[in-house]
């Protein structure tokens, strides 16, 4: 498929992070089915990172997300240009080089990654002013210095995201949303200390997905070029949600940390299946079909025969309207709707 002029294998890409930290790791991602290879961000200085720098918030699980205090690549940019991009490109999968941060740094690095064979550039706006003027300035400077497509990666702290998207549209070929959310503080209560080597870190994984969906949806209202959604995607259905909000492709980081590089192909396969099952011929058609608005819930919910009487809805109902014994919902129901999504077997509609 085509993404702003770049031929990608499927819409599930790597994201800048530890899962794209070197040529060798990117080769693993290519073998694992990634549709294109977005690389770890490089800057004109190599990063100095405190350790530990990545942690699961809930021991052993991805569901509460991860925190990290990584910045950009610890490998110097010269090594990326001389070696790492070429290794990734040897996979035959298109490489999108992530670079940062100021206009001067982008103008310095942009032509170098283009010469090294990158098919596109993603520039991170994480550590620069999020004012519309400065975002326009960096986008314009980079655009004028290279001839390959460029994508602006937006941080969730960006205010007036629609205005930003509108303002940078003439200078970019696409937008990537979102970077990690924060700063946040995650604590190991037993050890009485932060989980990371830095006191504050950045949140990724499933908890940030609703924030990412909202931002992608807002951007798609005003921005007519491709949007790449990223944040909390670990299944095909997560990717489908981003498409419904206007994304053309997605990136995956935390799920690849947790599940390993085969996750890209797995998500791409599940997305394809979801698209087919929902009656569309391709992912693009799912995107074009758009998200329906939720209708007002005018009736109280009903409990179906597949109810297993587990009791979760009865316990959760804030107005004590549910009787699991009788499988009824009384008139004290306020139609909050919580029972519908808390039911583990979808027995309430």
Ligand X SMILES: Cc1cc2nc3c(=O)[nH]c(=O)nc-3n(C[C@H](O)[C@H](O)[C@H](O)COP(=O)(O)O)c2cc1C
Closest to 136 measured CA to CA, from 178, 165, 98, 177: 165
Q: Judged by CB under 6 A, does residue 39 bind ligand X? A: no
C-alpha distances (whole Å) from 238 to each of 100, 231, 291 are 28, 9, 14
Q: Which residue's CB is nearer to ligand X, number 70 or number 348?
A: 70
Mode of pairing for the β-strands spanning 249-252 and 12-14: parallel
CA dihedral (101, 102, 103, 107) in degrees, to 10, reads: -50
Q: Which residue's CB is nearer to ligand X, number 263 or number 333?
A: 263
Among 40, 94, 143, 266, interactor with ligand X by CB under 6 A: 40
The residues, ordered by sequence, that sit 6+ positions from 194 with a Cβ below 8 Å of its Cβ are 185, 186, 187, 188, 200, 201
């990584």: which residue's tokens?
70
Mode of pairing for the β-strands spanning 66-68 and 54-56: antiparallel
Question: According to CB under 6 A, which residues from 79 to 98 bind ligand X?
Answer: 98
Beta carbons of 234 and 263 less than 8 angstroms apart:
yes
From 13-21, 106-114, 213-221, 267-275, give the range in contact with ligand X by CB under 6 A: 13-21
Question: What is the size of the binding site for ligand X (CB under 6 A)?
Answer: 27
- Token readout for 282 is 């391709």
The sign one gets for the Cα dihedral 315, 318, 323, 329 is: negative
Q: Which residue's CB is nearer to ligand X, number 119 or number 339?
A: 119
Least Å distance, CB 302 to ligand X, is 36
Binding letters toward ligand X, positions 14-33, x by CB under 6 A: -xxxx---------------
Q: Judged by CB under 6 A, does residue 12 bind ligand X? A: no
Among 254, 264, 286, 317, interactor with ligand X by CB under 6 A: 254
Binding letters toward ligand X, positions 189-208, x by CB under 6 A: ---------------xx--x
Question: According to CB under 6 A, which residues from 285 to 324 bind ligand X?
Answer: none
Mode of pairing for the β-strands spanning 95-99 and 54-56: unpaired
Among 231, 236, 261, 265, interactor with ligand X by CB under 6 A: 231
Q: What is the spatial distance between Cα 251 and Cα 227, in angstroms, rounded to a whole number? A: 11
Least Å distance, CB 39 to ligand X, is 9
Q: Judged by CB under 6 A, does residue 138 bind ligand X? A: no
Beta carbons of 167 and 38 less than 8 angstroms apart:
no
Among 142, 165, 230, 321, interactor with ligand X by CB under 6 A: 230
Q: Which residue's CB is nearer to ligand X, number 14 or number 313?
A: 14
Q: Judged by CB under 6 A, does residue 101 bind ligand X? A: no
Q: Judged by CB under 6 A, does residue 119 bind ligand X? A: no
Q: What is the spatial distance between Cα 274 and Cα 347, in angstroms, rounded to a whole number? A: 22
Q: Judged by CB under 6 A, does residue 153 bind ligand X? A: yes
Among 10, 22, 119, 179, interactor with ligand X by CB under 6 A: 179
Task: Looking at the chain, list the stretches that DSSP marks H as alpha helix, in order from N- to C-terminal side.
Answer: 23-31, 77-79, 85-89, 103-115, 132-145, 161-168, 209-222, 236-244, 254-259, 263-277, 283-289, 312-316, 338-342
From 162-170, 250-258, 291-299, 302-310, give the range in contact with ligand X by CB under 6 A: 250-258
Which residues of the chain form contacts with ligand X (CB under 6 A)?
15-18, 40-41, 54, 66, 68, 70, 72, 98, 124, 153, 179-180, 204-205, 208, 230-233, 252-255
């Amino acid at each position: 498929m085509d993404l702003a002029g770049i031929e990608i294998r499927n819409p599930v890409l790597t994201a800048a992070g530890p899962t794209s930290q070197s040529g060798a790791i990117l080769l693993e991602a290519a073998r694992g089915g990634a549709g294109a290879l977005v690389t770890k961000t490089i800057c004109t200085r190599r990063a100095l990172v405190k350790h530990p720098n990545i942690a699961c918030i809930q021991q052993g699980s991805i569901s509460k997300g991860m925190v990290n205090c990584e910045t950009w690549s610890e490998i110097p940019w010269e090594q990326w240009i001389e070696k790492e991009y070429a290794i990734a490109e040897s996979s035959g999968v298109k490489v999108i080089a992530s670079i940062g941060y100021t206009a001067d740094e982008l103008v310095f690095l942009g032509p170098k990654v283009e010469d090294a064979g990158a098919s596109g550039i993603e520039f991170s706006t994480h550590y620069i002013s999020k004012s519309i003027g400065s975002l326009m300035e960096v986008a314009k400077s980079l655009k004028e210095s290279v001839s390959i497509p460029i994508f602006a990666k937006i941080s969730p702290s960006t205010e007036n995201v629609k205005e930003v998207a509108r303002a940078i549209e003439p200078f970019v070929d696409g937008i990537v949303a979102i970077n990690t959310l924060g700063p946040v503080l995650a604590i190991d209560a037993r050890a009485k200390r932060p989980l990371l080597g830095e006191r504050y870190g950045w949140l990724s994984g499933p908890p940030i997905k609703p924030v990412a969906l909202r931002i992608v949806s807002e951007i798609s209202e005003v921005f007519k070029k491709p949007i790449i959604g990223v944040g909390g995607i670990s299944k095909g259905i997560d990717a489908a949600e981003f498409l419904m909000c206007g994304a053309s492709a997605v990136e995956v980081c935390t799920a690849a940390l947790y599940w390993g590089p085969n996750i890209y192909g797995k998500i791409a396969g599940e997305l394809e299946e979801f698209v087919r099952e929902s009656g569309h011929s391709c992912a693009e058609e799912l995107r074009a079909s758009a998200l329906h608005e939720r209708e007002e819930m005018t009736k109280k919910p009903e409990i179906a025969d597949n109810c297993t009487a587990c009791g979760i809805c009865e316990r959760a109902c804030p107005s004590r309207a549910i009787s699991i014994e009788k499988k009824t919902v009384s008139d004290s129901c306020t139609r909050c709707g919580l029972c519908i999504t808390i039911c583990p077997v979808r027995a309430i509609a």
